[in-house]
Amino acid sequence: MSLSSTAEAIKHYKVTFNWKTGFESWSKVPTTKNYHMLAPNLGLEATGADEIRDIIFGFCTENELEQELVDIIEHGQYVTCMLSLKTKLGDTIQCVEVFLLDDEGRVDKIWAL
């Protein structure tokens, strides 16, 4: 099954992720103006590009986060990424990110679980 253009953009972002240029790379993925991200296990929440840059990518930079995309699945309006994360301290986190796309194929909500 082929991925939509937005899912392909998410995949490219995940495969090429670098904490130093994370937000710049993420900015190529189509999003709504006030898209929202929630990462409850990390205590992070942000709405809109500025907060996403400052809060979410601030966390990535502070922890020199590395990401490995294990798998990506698209099902209707949802894109799900299975990830293996590693921090600068060597801690490994297995997580799932779920992206909800709007009717125009833009990311509107992200849950990092």
Range of the domain at 55: 5-112
* pTM metric for this prediction: 0.95
**How many structural domains does the chain have?**
1
Residue 26 sits in a domain whose CATH number is 3.10.450.50
- Render each residue's pLDDT in the chain as its tens digit; 113 residues: 799 999 999 999 999 999 899 999 999 999 999 999 999 999 999 999 999 999 999 999 999 999 999 999 999 999 999 999 999 999 999 999 999 999 999 999 999 99
Determine the Cα–Cα distance for residues 64 and 23; give it in Å rounded to an integer.
Answer: 13
Cβ within 8 Å of residue 41, ≥6 positions away? 95, 112, 113
- Cβ of 78: how many Cβ atoms within 10 Å? 14
